[in-house]
Copies of this chain bind each other. A is one copy, B any other.
Amino acid sequence: MKPLDSLFLARANELAAHGIGNTAPNPPVGAVLVRHGEIIGEGYHHRAGAPHAEIEALKATKAIDSKAASGATLYVSLEPCNHAGRTPPCTQSIIDAGISRVVIGAIDPNPRTNGSGIQRLREAGITVELANDATSAILIEIFSHAMQNQRPYLALKLAMSLDGFITSKPGVQEWLTSEEERLYVRNLRIMHDAIMVGAGTIRIDDPQLTVRPSHNRLRPYYRIVLCETGTVSETSRIFETVENYERTIIITRSSAPKLEKVAEVIVAEDLTAALQALYESGIQSILCEGGPTLGARLIEAKLVDRFYWAIAPKLLANKDAVPVLTGVDLAALQRELHFDHIEQTGDDIILSGIFLENRS
């Protein structure tokens, strides 16, 4: 690695982030072409089916036709693909363009590439450096997970008072957290293919759960309602069509003819089967926003890959207060968690982390 390598790679990561939310089933990827210390082309993967980041960067220099990138260094957040998918293999385009050096943020976990891209480039005489960059790895966390587990990456988002409750009385919606926290959650939604809630949340809060207008989405954003313990009214706000970008899926244990008129209905016998069906319909990542029963059930089923736990500077303890998780003997499960990220959003704290057993 040369002195400026980490800066140009950081720029590639930054470009990659523009694709977040739009690239699934592909990961977001960014690329920068540098010659004589100067950026001559930049690009990122806009959406599945569109050109890969490397090609976008080459196009920006007109290098595909003119050899304008001959002798340049390519910085790319993810290993270039070595297989023809919806687009030709990037390795061939890089070789054809006369690029002499490639700096890669993270290796591609896709078994069809996974090191073979690096090997192909080296065989063509190109110098290749694998940076194993932390930010590049975060960009593909969802993609890696889906590759390895063949089910949706599931993030559980909860919010509670400092003493562990979501509301002081059952059935009452309280605005626990700050405006800043809610903006943070909106950005979390953008990062995922879908939002999921339990039927109870729809009955009590009747939320719309949209990501617009803060994000111009290039692919559908799914709103999923999991009806395990009861159903929801077909006049709920979640069934209002906001834009063509938002689609609603209902997961039930038995058929629900009324709901079929307002949403797609998937019949699944348990949570694992439900997630499997969602994965097969192209949903790679889900942000679950509760409530307390669904959250506890997902943890019990070992389906939670990351938690975002918002803590509001309030106390709600009283005999009727509703705990943040309920309905499952979580103590008996003895799950070990790990905090890896702490964020202050307005007046609130968000603790994020993983369940250790999921990674072992």
Alpha-carbon separation in the docked complex, A348 to B109 (Å): 32
Interface contact B315-A337, CB-CB below 8 Å: yes
Chain B residue numbers with a CB within 8 Å of A169 are 331
Those of A207-247 within 8 Å (CB) of chain B: none
Do the beta carbons of B314 and A321 come within 8 Å of each other? no
A311 with B344: in contact, given A163-B323, A326-B317 (CB under 8 Å)?
no
Q: Which of B299, B317, B337 contacts A330 (CB 8 A)?
A: B317
What sequence of 0s and 1s flags, for each residue 155-177 of chain A, a beta carbon within 8 Å of any chain B beta carbon?
Answer: 00000101111001100000000
> Chain B residues near A164 (CB, 8 Å)?
160, 163-165, 323-324
CB distance from A163 to the nearest CB of B (A): 5
Q: Is A37 an interface residue (CB 8 A)?
A: no
In angstroms, Cα B296 to Cα A330, docked, is 25
Name the distance in Å between A93's Cβ and chain B's nearest Cβ.
Answer: 45
Complex interface: chain B residues within 8 A of A319 (CB): 329
Number of interface residues of A (CB under 8 A): 40
A346 to chain B, nearest CB (A): 10
Closest to A163 in B: B325
Question: Which of A168, A324, A335, A339 has the most chain B CB atoms closer than 10 A to its own CB?
Answer: A339
A313 with B344: CB separation less than 8 A = no
A176 shortest CB reach to chain B, Å: 12
Check A314/B326 contact, CB under 8 A, given A164-B163, A165-B164. no
Does A353 sit within 8 A of B, measured CB to CB?
yes
Alpha-carbon distance A162/B295, docked complex (angstroms): 13
Q: Which residues of B contact A338 (CB under 8 A)?
A: 313, 347
Compute how far the CA of A233 lies from the CA of B174 in the bound complex, rounded to whole angstroms.
Answer: 44
Known: A324-B164, A351-B162. A317 touches B331 (CB 8 A): yes
Alpha-carbon separation in the docked complex, A103 to B338 (Å): 45
Interface residues of A in 303-354 (CB under 8 A from B): 309, 311, 313-319, 321, 323-326, 328-333, 335-339, 342, 344, 347, 349, 351, 353
Give 6 A-B contacts (CB < 8 Å), ordered by A residue: A163-B164, A164-B165, A313-B339, A318-B329, A319-B329, A321-B331
Near B by CB (< 8 A), chain A positions 274-316 give: 296, 299, 309, 311, 313-316
How many angstroms from the CA of A96 to the CA of B341 in the assembled complex?
A: 55
Residues B299 and A315 in contact, CB atoms below 8 Å apart: yes
State A74–B8 Cα separation when bound (angstroms): 49
